[in-house]
Structure 1
Amino acid sequence: MSFARSGHVVWRTLILLLPLLVLAVPAHAAPIGIPALTVTPGPNGTQEYSVTIQILALMTALTFLPAFLMMMTSFTRIIIVFSILRQALGLQQAPSNQILIGLALFLTIFIMAPVFQRVNTEALQPYLNNQMPAQEAVIKASQPFRKFMMAQTRKEDLNLFVKLSGKTYKSPQDVSFWVLMPAFVTSELKTAFQIGFILFIPFLIIDMVVASVLMAMGMMMLSPIIISLPFKIMLFVLVDGWTLIMGTLAASFGM
C-alpha cells in the first residue's frame, strides 16, 4: 500500500471516529475554558468584574495613552517649544524628531513625577492590594492630574469651555474633567507659543544683521541662512542654550 493511500485511510478512519468521540463525552461534564465574565456583588450596590474583563478594559484604555499623554501632561508644551527652537535655529533635521520626542518624553516624566507618585500611593497601590474598588481607584487617580491641570489652566480658557458646555459650576474645582481637558490644552498651546516667540527674537536679530551686511556688500545672491546658521549655533552653545531651555520649561510648571 502506498503512503498516499495509507494517509487517506487514516483520515477516513478519524472522520468516522470523531462523532463517536463527541457522543462519548458525558453530558454533565464541566465546560473547559476561562469564563468570559464573572460579576461579584460589592458593598453599596457596586459590582466587581473578573480579572479577565479588567485586563481587556486595560488593554483597550492603553490605545488612548498617546491622547492622554498630550491632553493631561506637560508633553504638549515641551514638544512645541522644542519644534519652534529647531525652526528658529534654522535646522531642518537636527535634532531629529525621534530625539526631540524622546527628550520631551523624559522631561515630561521628570516634571510629572510628583503627580505620578501621588497616583501610585493614593490609587494604584490600594487597588492592587485589594483595599479599593476599581471605580474609586479611578476617581482617586484623577485627582492629582486634575490639580496639576487646574494650576496650569488660564481662567479665561476655562470660562470659555464652561460657557460652551452650557453648564454652570459653583467653583472651578467642580468643573467636569471633560471640560477641564480642552481648556488645559488651549492654555498649554498659548504658553508654548509665548515661550517660542521669546526664543525666536535673538535668532531673528542675527538673521536681520547678516542679511543687512550681505545686502550692503552687494552679495544679494548669497542666502543669508548659510551665513547666519553658524553664528546662531555658536550663540546657542555659548549661552548653554539647552540648559536654559530645560530650566525654563521646568520652571514654567512651578517646579
Structure 2
Amino acid sequence: MANIGKMVKRCLLGTVLTGAWYLTGCGFGGVPLNGAPTTPTTSSDNWEIMVTPSNGVSANRLSMLSGSILSSPSGSSTQAPAVFQGVSSCFAAANVIPMDSTIASNVFQGRSFGVQGQYLSMTGNLNTAHDSMTGTYSIAGGCSDGESGAFTGTRYRALTGTYTGTVSQGGNTYTVSVTTTQGDATGVGSFLIGGTATFGGFSCFTTGTIPVGSGYISGSNLTLSVTSSNGAVIQMNGEIDPAATTVSSGNLVITGGACSGQYGPIKLTRQ
C-alpha cells in the first residue's frame, strides 16, 4: 500500500439541516443508501480488510481497505460509522470511503456514501473479541458496478508504547527508541501518531519529536516523521503487526544536517 502520508487527504466536514453529516472536497457527498445520519467517530478501532473479488472488471477491482470503525463492545448493538481508504483504480481520485454502518449481535453491516457514483455494501461476522471479521461485499454504480466478493478483516491494536531497535550503516550500529501515542480517527481513514524519540550513536542529534500531523497509521501501514533536536528529519515508513508489538520499516532516511543519508532497514520492538 502506498505511503500513508501521500494517501491522506484533508476533507471539509459540515452538517445539513437534518443533522446528517456529509463530506465534501474528496469526490463524494450526499447521504448513505439507507438515508440514516452518521456522526463523527469518538473512539474508533483501526482495521485492515483484505478483499478477494469474485466478480467485476479485473483492472478495476478493489484489493484492500484500511481505516476506522467506531468501537463496539462485544455483543452490543450500536451505530458504528466507518471511514476507509480504498486501493482500487475506481476509487483512486477520492481514496476515502465513508460508510454508515452498525454492529448488532456480532454482525457488521455497512453501506457507503456515494463515492464517484459507487456504493459499497458490506456484511461481516465478527469473532467474540471483535478483532477479526469475515464476510462479503458488493459495489453498485460507477466503474466498479457489479463487483462483489469476500473479505477478511483484522483489527490492529493502538500503536501506543515505547519501541526500540537498531539500524546499521557503514559498519556502524545506531540505536533508535520512539515513544508513541495513537490518537483517535482523523475522519479520512487514518489515525494520528504523536510522540518523542531518542537516538544513540548519531553525532548530530540525540532526541526528537513526532509533531502533530507527522505520524499516521491506517491498517498495518505506518509513516513516522521525527524532527530531531537540530532540525534534521528522520523518516520511517513501514508496517506493524496486529498486536502492535513490532514496527518493521524500510530504510531509515535522514534529511538535513551532517547525518543525512539512507540507513538500513529497522525493526522496532515494543518494550
* Higher relative contact order, chain-length normalized (CA < 8 Å, sep 6+): 1
Question: Whose helix proportion is higher, 1 or 2?
Answer: 1
Normalised by the length of structure 1, the TM-score is: 0.22
* TM-score normalised by structure 2 residue count: 0.22
Higher strand share: 2
